[in-house]
Amino acid sequence: MKVLIVGAGSVGASIARELHASGHEITIIDSKPETKKRANLPQVQWFIGDACELSVLKLAVPEESEVVVAATGDDKANLMVSLLCRSEYGVPRTVARVNNPRNEWLFDESWGVDVAVSTPRLMTALVEEAVVVGDVVRLLTLQAGGATLVEYTVPEDHPVIGYRVDHVQWPTDTVLTAILRDGAPIAPSADVVLEGSDELFFITTIAGEDQIRALFA
């Protein structure tokens, strides 16, 4: 898979390193020449310049990329790169980093963003997911379809314990995608019986999150 990464700071460089190790073809654009030396990624293709300028962006031939990752530390730049790649070059999938949670509402399909990753929100969610039992925790927002990935840990005394997955009336537009039990993932087939401390992972909508809360309340 061809991936274009804009921004080679600690986040962008780490993404590039992991994806290249997995066998993907990586191209990087960064505005600072010293970043190339610091990142130490000689095996990927580099372009130095401001990716918000079409003259720079087109050098990386973004139309040949299957995914563009806007990973700079500037939310405005990430939005502009996502919009240009989608509108000017028809890139099929864009992933954008959100640095300031207050800007998260901007990162949607109107700006060409398929998936918005808010580092502060994600860290908060992971902390909550580790310590909160009995509440719905949003892990990720998939902006293009208005969908979210949420997690719910079943309390040890919850009435849903002992029910089979197919006996629970899940909310509309909500899909139980996985169950984590004792550290091991379980496919949520119809005959799986829910147990205390099960971590349930759902793909749902914003409205569906409230419906899941109501269901487990």
Q: How, if at all, do strands 67-70 and 115-118 pair? A: unpaired
- When pLDDT is cut at 50, 70 and 90, the band that residue 123 belongs to is low
Q: How, if at all, do strands 45-48 and 67-70 pair? A: unpaired
Distance CA 8, CA 217 (A): 44
Higher pLDDT, 6 or 157: 6
The structure's pTM equals 0.66
CA R_g for the chain: 20
Vertex 156: Cα angle to 150 and 161 (nearest 5): 75
Per-residue pLDDT, 184: 87
pLDDT tens, 195-213? 998 889 999 988 888 899 8
Distance CA 202, CA 198 (A): 13
Q: Are 134 and 216 in contact (CB under 8 A)?
A: yes
User: 89: closest CA among 54, 45, 126?
Assistant: 54
User: How many other C-beta atoms are found inside a 10 Å radius of the C-beta of residue 69?
Assistant: 27
Give the pLDDT mean for 38-47.
89
User: 55: closest CA among 83, 34, 29?
Assistant: 29
User: Ranked by mean pLDDT, which of 45-49, 116-120, 133-137, 184-188 comes out on top?
Assistant: 45-49
Give the pLDDT mean for 125-152.
69
pLDDT above 70 coverage of the chain, percent: 91
Give the pLDDT mean for 115-137.
65
Q: Is the pLDDT score of 11 beyond 90?
A: no
Per-residue pLDDT, 128: 53
